[in-house]
């Protein structure tokens, strides 16, 4: 059974300090604001006499983005980057049809509950989750594994991203990043190593969220991984 992220007792004080620092800035942990309420997209009901259709697959160059405020471009509560990651990807790879399903403050645990009932059309599914789950001690790995399995069962390809850098809570971030890496390794999922993307402290919008330049480099790294999955879409 997949293991879950649990915050060791010795990290409790650091985690509490991280939470207080985030609260002082008026941001939720790794979120940007409280999670938006997104109604599940439920596939239409078909009569028993009709054979259920296979999953809908969109154009060869189509991608759907799932994640929290980092992939949404959120920061400092209700603010959003001038060029959010979805728009940056459209600019960098104009052949892609990009569907942005990111939600500020979301966890993989919460999204996985509705993921199975959502209707998708993208050929590729990008999943960026982890910091919120790790900080709350939620079962990150099992949630990611369930989402990967569902997307693959629909005939889609999946890309997982690592966690971007933060100005505080580095140990908690490392726990979440390690969990995502394990899932990517165990399931042979292409991995966008966001932790390897260089960043300066001045390129952060707050203690958790990338400002425009850093966010842009994260998307550039993601685009290069997508190129290995669908080279015809470059």
- Nearest CA among 125, 132, 130, 152 for reference residue 142: 130
Give me the domain span that covers residue 186. Answer: 13-32+55-229
**What is the model's pLDDT at position 57?**
72
Specify the DSSP class assigned to residue 53.
P
Helix (H, G, I), strand (E, B), or coil: what is residue 65? strand
Number of independent structural domains in the chain: 1
Per-residue model confidence (pLDDT) at position 201: 97
Tell me, what DSSP letter sits at residue 210? B
Per the domain annotation, does 66 fall within a domain?
Answer: yes
- Spell out the residues 6+ positions from residue 185 whose beta carbon is closer than 8 angstroms to its own: 191
Report the pLDDT value the prediction gives residue 22, as an integer from 0 to 100: 57
In this structure, is residue 164 part of a structural domain?
Answer: yes
Report yes or no on 1 lying in a domain: no
In a domain, 40, yes or no: no
The three-class DSSP label of residue 226 is: helix
Residues of the chain under the 50 pLDDT cut = 1-8, 26-52
Q: Is 61 part of any domain?
A: yes
Residue 66 CA to residue 162 CA, distance in Å, equals 13
pLDDT tens-place string over residues 27-56 = 444 444 444 444 343 344 443 433 445 666
CATH number, position 135: 3.40.50.1110
Whether 39 maps to a domain, the answer reads: no
* 234 in a structural domain: no
Measured CA to CA, the distance from residue 112 to residue 128 in angstroms comes to 12
Predicted model pTM: 0.80
* Continuous H helices in the chain: 12-24, 69-72, 85-92, 108-115, 131-136, 140-153, 170-187, 212-229
User: Does residue 41 lie in a domain region?
Assistant: no
């Amino acid at each position: 059974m997949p293991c879950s992220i649990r915050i060791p007792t010795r990290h409790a004080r650091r985690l509490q300090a991280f939470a207080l620092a985030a609260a002082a800035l008026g941001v939720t942990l790794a979120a940007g604001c409280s999670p938006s309420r997104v109604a599940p997209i439920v596939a239409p009901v078909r009569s028993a006499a009709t054979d259920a259709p296979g999953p809908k697959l969109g154009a060869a160059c189509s991608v759907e983005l799932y994640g929290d405020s980092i992939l949404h471009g959120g920061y400092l509560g209700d603010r959003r980057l001038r060029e959010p990651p979805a728009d940056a990807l459209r600019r960098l790879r104009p052949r892609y049809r990009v569907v942005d399903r990111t939600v500020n403050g979301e966890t993989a645990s919460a999204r996985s509950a509705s993921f199975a009932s959502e209707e998708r059309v993208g050929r590729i599914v990008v999943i960026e989750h982890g910091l919120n789950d790790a900080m709350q001690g939620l079962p990150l790995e099992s949630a990611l594994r369930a989402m990967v399995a569902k997307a693959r069962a629909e005939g889609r390809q999946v890309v997982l991203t690592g966690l971007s850098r933060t100005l505080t809570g580095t140990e908690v971030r490392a726990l979440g990043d390690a969990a995502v890496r394990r899932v990517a390794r165990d399931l042979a999922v292409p991995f966008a190593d966001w932790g390897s993307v260089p960043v300066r402290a001045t390129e952060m919008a707050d203690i958790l969220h990338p400002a425009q330049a850093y966010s842009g480099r994260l998307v550039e790294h993601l685009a290069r991984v997508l190129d290995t999955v669908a080279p015809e879409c470059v």
